Every structure is written in C-alpha cells, then in structure tokens.
Amino acid sequence: MIEDMSKKSPNSMLKLRRVAIDTYHENVAYLHRNCSLYRAEGFQALSKISIMANGSRVHAVLNVVDDEHIVSEGELGLAEQAFAQLDMEEGQLVRVEHAEPPASMDAVRRKIDGQRLRLEEFQQITQDIIDNRYSKMEMAAFLVSCAQGGLDREEILHLTRAMIDTGEQVHWDAPLVADKHCIGGIPGNRTTMIIVPIIAAHGLLMPKTSSRAITSPAGTADTMSVLAEVDLTPQKMHKVVSKTQACLAWGGRARLAPADDILISVERPLGIDSEGQMLASILSKKLAAGSTHLLIDIPVGLTAKVRHMNQALRLRKMFEYLGDRLGIHLEVVITDGGQPIGNGIGPQLEARDVMQVLENDPDAPADLRQKALRLAGRILEFDPDVRGGQGYAIARDILEDGRALKKMKAIIEAQGAVDADFTPAKRMTEICAASDGVITSIDNYQMAKIARRAGAPMDQRAGVDLVKKLGAHVKKGDVLYRIYAEFPADFKFATSLAEENSGYTIGSEDEVPQFYMEI
C-alpha cells in the first residue's frame, strides 16, 4: 500500500477543510461531486476512503456534496471527529485514496462462520477498530458474530487482552488498588460514590474511573459531575489520588481500552447482549486502569440485566476464570436486582441520595446505604489486615463517624467542586396508585426509560424520584413517584409514558417477591 502512493498522480491531493458537523463516533469525509478525484477514482457514496498527510492517516466514510458552501471541488471536507484525528490545519494538502476493507474483517467472517479466533486475530480486530477502519456496520457484524455463536472463555480472554493492549495502561505505585463494578441495569444504584470514600478513608487506594450513561438515565460520572469536576486529565487524576487516596472521575479521557468505548457506542443502541463482550469490556477497563483487586456486583431480578440465579452463577464462574488468568484478584457478589436502589433516578436526584447517606441523614434511603456498606465491607476485606467478616462493621463505623463524608468532601475539593444545587427541575408531576394494596413489582427498565424521557442524564435535574418501594402498603391516590423535567416536550413525553405504564404493580402482600441478598 505505502509504496503505491508514490505512483499516484498529483491530482489525488486535495485541500483539507473542516466541516462543522458532529458525526459522533463515525468518521465522515465530504467530497464535491465534481471533484476531479472523485470522478477519476470512481468513488461511490458511502465507500470508505483513506486520507493521508504528514505520515498520519485516517479512514472515513465518504459523503458526496453538491454545495460549494460545504466543500468545493478541490477540497476534502472532514467532519469534526475525523478532522481532530488528523491533527492538521485547514488548507493543508492531503492525499486521498480508496481504503481497503480492514484485513481483520476476514477474521470476523470466519467468526460468523462459527470458527474460533486466536489472540492475534482479536488484536488485529481491535487495532483496526481504534484506527477507525471499521464502519458502524462492520462493528455491528463483529458484535453480532460474538453474540450469536458466542465466544468461548478462551476467546473472551483473548478479546480482553487485545482490548487492553490497544490502549493506554495506568500504573499506581501501590500494592493494592481497589475497584468495583456493577454489571448494571438497576436505576439509582449509585453505591460507588459511597464506597469509594469509605475505602479511601480506611487507607486503601481506590482511583475510580466510570463511564457516562449511554442508554441509562445516569452513570456514576454523570452523578459525580453534579458535585465535582469529573473530566480530569491523567495528570490531574494522579494529583487527586495522591492527595486523597481516591478519585471519582470520568474514564473517557484516559484511552483505557479505547476499542471497548467504540464497540459500546454500537452495541448499546443495537440492544445486543453479548456476554463475552461484556466480560471483556469490564475486565479490560479495570486492568488498564491499574486495578489489582476488583469486586463485581451482579444484581439479579426479573427486570435486571441478569434475570436468573443460574445465569448469575455462570457469569460468576466466567469472571473468576478470567480474573485468575489476567492476574487480578477478583470477587463476585450476587445482589438483589428486584427494584431500583435508592429513591432518585437521574444525576442530581441520585447525588442527593448519596449525600444523604454520607451525611447520615435519617431520610437517607436505607437500601442504598445497606448495599453500599455491604459492598464496601467486601472490598475492605481485600486488605490483608482486615479479618474475614469484619469489613461491614469497619465500613459502617467509617460512615457513621463522618470519616466517609469528610473523605468525600476532600475528593470533591481535589477534583474541583461545582456549585451543587439540589433544586429539582421546575416541571413536576406525581404518579399515583390506581388502587389500594401492596407494591409487588417495580420495573427497572420502565423507570429508567421514564427518567431518560424526562431528560436525564443530559438535564442533570431531570429524572424520577421514588416515594414507594417494594412491599409498601398504599391507598388509592397515594404518590408512587414524582417525575421532574426541565423542558415541556420532555415533561409531556415522560408523563405520557408513565401514564401508559407506570412501571409499578399493586397486589397483595403474599405476591411481594422475597429478597436474596449478596452471596
């Protein structure tokens, strides 16, 4: 390929132009229909092209333009994402040619045919993905091939290693770097923001990076951003950690397992559940972040991601298998995923719950407090000096005597406090019980969907605030939850969604599901 370029005619050079279109995770290039290069090369709309200059190269999907205001005949337009990647000035000359399909698509096709892939093949695939050689549909093909035929545990190990290898890795100068992860699906489940200050107050290192919500109403990073800056440079993050033993930052800056971020941007909207992808995604991020000890929380419930106990147990075995081979100390707890945790759903409402717990407010949601303490207890027991079974009591002491709150304040201070404002969004409606009885189910999906429609996570103050939880006795007309929204369209849309299906079922006492707590 590289050799051929010298043979190319000079008319393959075009002037670079930045096109102010945000194409999200996809690189898009724009050529004018009368561009001599387009005519000569026989490019077709949506074919992929390769753009080179100063030794760097980006790949982009081609759109053809008939408007000089966007690009003229001698120009190559690049949408924001692609332009940023090329790292050049407008007006500089770039070379354009047909992009070959990524070589690793051969491996994807073999996977579609039901074959096993080797480590090198996963490495080629992840490298091609972070080099932007994969189109969205090629990524979808890869994801479905992994979801359908499935990856065996050896392949998941390969994929995890490949995702780690193709990104940056953080190293902490500490023998024990604690981390936790919840496989998700439970709205309001913001235990991390309580656990991290407890663990750090005990003296263990817990530099936590989290994602922002993609399809959920709030991620830990979204919720923390209500209280503090979360978009930290790696330098800043290290400074915060050396000062406070912890951080609660957004992980998007650090290029940890970047292939995973790109794949997730395709996987989530598709709604494909690939167990192998999920395992590789979680573990690659944790290992790249330098964690040595990891607690995995698997909530089980009929409207949770994991619906049955046997599935949770199988996942646990897989985590254990992979953790051992990847050299990370890993434990799995299976928790109750039968309803949202805490009361708030949405960044600000969840931040409020977290602060109530840390402040030992008597109104703090008891389930969030309990769950956070139990998980924190398990992490504390990673410490060789903590006797098995003593973790919970230590965690509770740290919370109750205010050390956790103090640590949280220190973390917020170190990251950069923002003006936390707990006034909810200005539009509010109450969803009420349609009959007398007992709450027998709360649909996690539906509650998350209503909160999203209300504007969360983009509008921090939007979301849902639960008043009644499972097992509560209600009278007809009692408030079940409140919906908060900033904007009229969102407010109406969320309200009509809740009116269609409130997410709550009211029945009799004996229908209330029995909880099982962590195992």
Which residue among 13, 52, 93, 144 contacts a second copy (CB under 8 A)? 144
Among 35, 58, 86, 141, binds a second copy (CB under 8 A): 141
Q: Which is nearer to a second copy, 24 or 515 (CB)?
A: 24
Q: What part of residues 1-20 is at the interface with a second copy (CB under 8 A)?
A: 4, 7-9, 11-12, 19-20
Residue 40 C-beta: closest distance to a second copy, Å:
4
Q: Which of residues 454-493 bind a second copy (CB under 8 A)?
A: 455, 458-459, 486-490, 492-493
Closest to a second copy by CB, 65 vs 480, is 65
Shortest distance in whole angstroms from residue 150 CB to a second copy: 10
Burial tier of 289 (Cβ tally within 10 Å: 0-12, 13-18, 19+): buried
- 85-101: string of b/e by CB count within 10 Å (b at 16+)? bbebeeeeebbbbebee
Shortest Cβ distance from residue 300 to a second copy (Å)? 19
For residue 395 the two structure tokens come to 């965690």
Q: How far is the CB of 292 from a second copy (least distance, A)?
A: 35
**Residues 409, 201: Cα–Cα separation, whole Å:** 11
**Known catalytic membership, residue 273:** yes
In sign, the C-alpha dihedral spanning 76, 81, 86, 91 is positive
Q: What are phi and psi of 194, to 5 degrees?
A: -100, -40
Contacts (CB under 8 A) with a second copy, residues 188-247: none
Q: How many CA atoms lie within 13 A of 515 on its CB side?
A: 13
* Among the residue ranges 35-43, 176-184, 291-299, 433-441, the one whose residues contact a second copy (CB under 8 A): 35-43
140 touching a second copy, by CB under 8 A? yes
Which range binds a second copy by CB under 8 A, 108-116, 247-255, 424-432, 504-512?
Answer: 108-116
Give the Cβ contact number of residue 202 at 10 Å. 24
| Burial category of 465 from C-beta neighbours within 10 Å (exposed 0-12, middle 13-18, buried 19 and up) | buried
Tokens representing residue 147 in the block: 């979801």
Query: Is 176 a residue that touches a second copy (CB under 8 A)?
Result: no
> Phi, psi (5° rounding) for residue 164?
-65, -50
Q: Can residue 42 be called a binding residue for a second copy (CB under 8 A)?
A: yes
Token reading at 46: 């949506």
Nearest approach in angstroms of CB 489 to a second copy is 5
CA 369 to chain centre: 23
Q: Using CB under 8 A, which residues numbered 47 to 76 contact a second copy?
A: 47, 63-67, 69-70
Cα–Cα distance, 77 to 71 (Å, whole number): 6
Residue 21 binds a second copy (CB under 8 A) = yes
Q: Least distance in Å: CB of 9 to a second copy?
A: 4
Residues 264-303: x where in contact with a second copy by CB under 8 A, - otherwise, as a string = -xx--xxxxx------------------------------
Footprint (CB under 8 A) of a second copy, residues 489-518: 489-490, 492-493, 496
Q: Which of 29, 35, 125, 143 binds a second copy (CB under 8 A)?
A: 143
Measured CA to CA in angstroms, residue 374 lies from 21, 49, 114, 379, 452 at distances of 47, 53, 42, 9, 29
From the candidates 87, 152, 273, 401, give the one annotated as an active-site residue. 273
* Binders in 112-131 for a second copy, by CB under 8 A: 112-114
Count residues near a second copy (CB under 8 A): 73
Q: Which two tokens stand for residue 68?
A: 């000089």
84 scored as a contact of a second copy (CB under 8 A)? no
Residues 6+ apart with CB under 8 A from 46: 61, 62, 63
Least Cβ distance, residue 56 to a second copy (angstroms):
21
Minimum distance, C-beta of residue 33 to a second copy, in the bound complex (Å): 7
Binding flag, residue 94, a second copy (CB under 8 A): no
Q: How far apart are the C-alpha atoms of 285 and 208, rounded to whole Å? A: 11
- In this chain, which of 2, 22, 171, 419 binds a second copy, going by CB under 8 A? 22
Residue 313 binds a second copy (CB under 8 A): no
**Other Cβ atoms closer than 10 A to 2:** 7
State the number of CA atoms in the 13 A half-sphere of 402 facing the CB: 1
Which residues, 6+ apart, have CB-to-CB distance to 82 below 8 Å?
Answer: 23, 27, 28, 29, 51, 58, 60, 132
Q: Is 33 in the site for a second copy (CB under 8 A)?
A: yes
DSSP 265-326: HHHHHHT---HHHHHHHHHHHHHHTT-SEEEEEEEE-TTSSB-SHHHHHHHHHHHHHHHHHH
Instruction: Identify which range of 23-31, 122-130, 218-226, 397-405 contacts a second copy by CB under 8 A.
Output: 23-31
Q: How far is the CB of 490 from a second copy (least distance, A)?
A: 7
Residues assigned a catalytic role: 273
